[in-house]
Amino acid sequence: EVQLVESGGGLVKPGGSLRLSCAASGFTFTNAWMSWVRQAPGKGLEWVGRITSKTDGGTTEYPAPVKGRFSISRDDSKNTLYLQMNSLKTEDTAVYYCTRDNYGGSQHWGQGTLVTVSS
């Protein structure tokens, strides 16, 4: 069974940094393309970035709202995905989901971790 467990969320001040982790199991993590998707309170879903497998180059892509501030990385030896978030803004407040991608979309989702950016 595929399991994705996010951790690392919490309260951070504007301008601060936070690193989220996603522990993966139940599939071959090394071969997986992974994404982070967020959901602000009471709002819709927003993709915040993706990393391909190392076999496919280990490349990362980000949408404009987070490009230059967020960075995705992976440690295949630990089956773990990371999201480093810098220069956080109040509008980054959201539940952050780790997803395993397949067939051009997020097939499996974690339970999410809440990030609150507030002074």
The residues binding another protein (CB under 8 A) are: 35, 37, 44-47, 50, 61, 63-64, 97, 101-107, 109-112
Report the distance separating Cα 9 and Cα 33, nearest Å: 22
CB 18 within 8 A of CB 92: no
Report the distance separating Cα 92 and Cα 43, nearest Å: 12
Nearer to another protein, 28 or 102 (CB): 102
User: Nearest approach, Cβ of 10 to another protein (angstroms)?
Assistant: 19
User: Nearest approach, Cβ of 61 to another protein (angstroms)?
Assistant: 6
User: Nearest approach, Cβ of 108 to another protein (angstroms)?
Assistant: 8
